[in-house]
Structure 1
Amino acid sequence: MTARDPRAAALASLAALLADETRAGCLLTLLDGRAWTAGELARHVAVAPSTLSEHLNRLVAGGLLAQERQGRHRYVRLADPRAAQLVEDLAAHLPQDAVRQVPRSLRESSAGSAMARGRTCYDHLAGRLGIAVTDALTARGLLRQDTGFALTDAGLAWFGDAGIGVDRSTRRPLARACLDWTERRPHLGGAAGAALCRHALDTGWCVRVGSGRAVRVTPAGARALADLLGIDGRALA
């Protein structure tokens, strides 16, 4: 008899954490990279706070969420970039009819269009915006995709010249391909992707749309992206 793989039980437990619509909804919501209160999440996924509390406890115990308390509020967020990558990678494998559902209202249609146009994927840019930036970096020889994602020497210099500080002190990959679940193509993740997204939000190149993950490029951002990467603003419309 062949011995059981000791990882099998752990993998089954992880899969069970994700095999619940409420918990999956929480994980997808937290891909915006921010910490949410338990009450905010409960309203967002449309369950009672008492019900959500049990789900959050399981996700924290399973290592997918981290939590902290401030006064009477409980804040939760994705535990780390690896947890975010797991959720985003699984979402990228959803069938098209699940991703492109017929909107039930004008509000849903507008929200879906905003997400597809530009959004945060945990801590980096995704949607058409993320793809446009990734393609522009690649076309200029700043990013290589032929042997996996890697910044070139010119790419590292570009980040420095643009005033975008990339944290290279961690074990996190400098550049990583993240499969975009709306575009079905990889966008830039990793430390470089996170630095670019943070810079875009801090400088006002992009602003968040509502309370979710969607972002839009501001006129100042459109000018900066055109000057630095030659991105046509029409590609972001």
Structure 2
Amino acid sequence: MKEAPDISRIAALIGDPARANILNALMSGKALTATELAGEAGVTLQTTSSHLAKLDVGGLIRPRKEGRHKYFTLASEEVALVLEALTGLAAGSGHLRHRPGPRDPELRHARICYNHLAGNMGIRAYDSMSARGFFGHSSSGMTLTSSGRAFVTALGVDLDALPPSRAPMCRDCLDWSERRPHLAGRLGRALLSHMQEVGWATRHDGTRIIHFSPRGMTSFNAAFPIG
């Protein structure tokens, strides 16, 4: 066999239904306890602890302690991008584990994808910025052009004040519901945070759904026009 990264090991970790539920719950970007994840996985706390240990060793999640409590998050944005792409592949192939619920249209409209905006609203922001030449490309990947930096700065996002990170400034993420790209990376995270800080959008408690207020929709439409 030719030498290559062992994708079968990662696939096996993701492929277990309980572990897939755990990873999907962590796509919310929130740090969750083993007890909370047991409820999401539909298995006992003891079984959940075993799954969490395997995911940790496999490099897919990261545990951290806060006082007496232990929380879990996805290990990195790269893990989230893979999970989002796999979700789109499964949805496109008709592999649905349950019928769409009443909140499915809301999830497709706007939701959080680990730490950035996804769904129709995320795609619209990406398309609007792309059409106006705010993204470029280099040998290292996707970049933000000078006009893009000017736009983001005028919007109220201080790029120089963003916390240091190994994540790129901007990258595309394949949206599972539309199979089109939305914006991820440090900029994607900063834009969603800004929308929440200025009151355009809020997150629906206990879900990945992002709600835009009427004023927020007006402001969003002005900032990210299409056509």
Partner of 2:106: 114
Correspondences of 1:156-235 after superposition (within 5 Å): 156-166=149-159, 167=162, 169-230=164-225
Give the counterpart of 1:24 among 20, 27, 43. Answer: 20
Q: 2:29 aligns with which of 33, 36, 47?
A: 33
Letter in 1 for 2:95: A
TM-score by length of 1: 0.84
AA partner of residue 172 (structure 2): A
| Residues 168 and 174 in structure 1, CA contact (< 8 A), matched pair in contact too | no
Of stretches 65-74 and 93-102 in structure 1, the one that deviates more from structure 2 is 93-102
After superposing the two structures, state which structure 1 stretch, 42-51 or 176-185, moved more. Answer: 42-51
- Deviation (angstroms), 1:169: 4.4
Distance 2:131 2:4 in 1: 45
Q: Does 1:57 align with 2:82?
A: no
Distance of 2:130 and 2:104 partners within structure 1: 27
Cα distance 1:75–1:169, how it changes in 2: closer, same or farther (>3 A)? closer
Q: CA deviation at 1:100?
A: 9.0
Q: Deviations over 1:98-127 (max 9, x none)?
A: 359534xxxx22x21111111111111100
Count residues with an aligned counterpart.
222
* 2:132 paired with 1:140: yes
Q: Which residue does 2:62 correspond to in 1?
A: 66
Query: Under a length normalisation based on structure 2, what TM-score does the superposition of the two structures give?
Result: 0.88
- Aligned-partner Cα distance in 2 for 1:169–1:207: 25
**2:143 match:** 150
Letter in 2 for 1:7: P
2:84 equivalent to 1:88: yes
Given that 1:225 and 1:231 are in contact with CA atoms closer than 8 Å, whether structure 2 keeps it comes out as no
In 2, the alpha carbon distance for the partners of 1:155 and 1:168 equals 19
Per-residue Cα deviation, 1:186-224 (whole angstroms, up to 9, x for no partner): 111111111111111222211112312111111231122
Separation (CA, whole Å) in 2 of partners of 1:196 and 1:231: 18
Deviation at 1:168, TM superposition (A): 7.8
User: Displaced runs of 4+ in structure 1, greater than 6 A?
Assistant: none
Segments of structure 1 that go 5 or more residues without pairing to the other structure are 233-237
> Is the contact made by 1:178 and 1:187 (CA closer than 8 Å) also made in structure 2?
yes
Q: Which residue of 1 aligns with 2:5?
A: 7
Question: CA shift at 1:228, angstroms?
Answer: 2.1
Q: Which ranges of structure 2 fall in alignment gaps of 5 or more residues?
A: none
Instruction: Say whether the 8 Å CA contact 1:38–1:73 is kept in structure 2.
Output: no
